[in-house]
Amino acid sequence: MDENICPDAVIFVSDDQSWMDSEGGRWGQTETMRLWDELKAKNLSAKLVNIDIQPYGTTQTLDREDIANVGGFSEAVFDFVANFVFAPNADHWVEMIEKTAL
């Protein structure tokens, strides 16, 4: 990874098969997660959106406040990404859910 790159947001689109790149096989840390942790150490406010076009039972990254794992794809993904990247904190999601009429 380029030492000088320090983005505020990264959007990664894949087929969700990256668990195969981990040293521990399917159960170890993926290279995606390792590199994200490295980048995150340089920019604590950075966010990652991991879009898996064909989701399976695994994800490339952990579920954390700075990471959104999205399974599948539609036009709604664009609004979700914008909301996630620009959300000030996790309370933003609670407010959005509470505003939703059922």
Instruction: Give the pLDDT confidence of 52-88 residue by residue, as tens digits.
Output: 988 877 788 888 989 999 999 999 999 999 999 998 7
Q: What is the pTM of this model?
A: 0.78
Q: What is the pLDDT of residues 1-32, one digit of tens each?
A: 667 778 999 999 988 665 555 555 556 678 88
The answer to the question of residue 35 being in a domain is yes
**Which residue from 53, 54, 57, 52 is spatially nearest to 32, judged by alpha carbons?**
52
Q: Is residue 44 included in any domain, yes or no? A: yes
| Number of independent structural domains in the chain | 1
Q: In whole angstroms, how far apart are CA 31 and each of 37, 39, 47, 73? A: 10, 12, 17, 23
**Does 3 fall in a domain?**
no
State which residues form the domain around 28: 9-99
Could you tell me if residue 4 is inside a domain?
no
Per-residue b/e over 46-56, b at no fewer than 16 CB within 10 Å?
Answer: bbbbbbbeeee
Q: Would 2 be classed as within a structural domain?
A: no
In a domain, 87, yes or no: yes
Residues in the chain: 102
